[in-house]
Amino acid sequence: VVKLRKSGVPMPRTPQVDAERCTHCGYCVKHCTAGAIIKGDECNTVAEKCIKCCACVKGCPQKARTYDTPFAVLLSDCFKKQKEDRIIL
Ligand code: SF4
Ligand code: SF4
């Protein structure tokens, strides 16, 4: 990630949405913990709220949401399994 950032690769602010595929099922609204997707306006994302977790991308039944960036593989690896809780003193 550090290498990519230093090379100046721009990171998209939010996932992209293919409006042709979206059926407005509401899955992404329900599973976006950041509240970045508004019911009834599922084809857009509030950039200021999006934390780029990709929960909407992974769960969209229509595959309407994508996050096309060289960071995607790294992010996917990072979020593949839940990490154990740690206490930092
Ligand atoms: S989960 Fe996919 S199909 Fe459902 S509302 Fe969101 S973008 Fe549309
Ligand atoms: S990437 Fe995460 S925070 Fe951003 S819109 Fe999707 S579910 Fe919400």
Nearest CA to ligand 1 atom 6: 28
Q: What is the pLDDT of residues 44-63, one digit of tens each?
A: 999 999 998 889 999 999 99
Per-residue pLDDT reduced to its tens digit, 19-39: 999 999 999 999 999 999 999
Annotated domain spans of the chain: 2-78
Architecture of domain 2-78: 2-Layer Sandwich (3.30)
25 within ligand 1 shell (Cβ under 6 A): yes
Which of 62, 63, 66 for a ligand 1 pocket mutation test, highest count of atoms within 8 Å of Cβ? Answer: 62
List C-alpha distances in Å: 67 to 3, 12, 32, 89. 19, 8, 15, 35
User: Ligand 1 centroid to 85 CA: how many Å?
Assistant: 31
What is the rounded average pLDDT of the residues 6-24? 89
Q: In this predicted model, what pLDDT tens digit does every residue of 60-87 receive, in sequence order?
A: 999 999 988 877 777 778 778 888 888 9
Is the confidence at residue 7, as pLDDT, over 90?
Answer: no
Q: Where are the alpha helices (DSSP H) in 9-83?
A: 27-31, 55-59, 71-78
| Bridge partner list, 6 | none
CA separation, residue 85 to residues 82, 88 (Å): 9, 10
Other C-beta atoms lying within 10 Å of the C-beta of residue 65: 25
Nearest residue CA, atom 2 of ligand 2?
53
Neighbours of 64 (CB within 10 A): 22
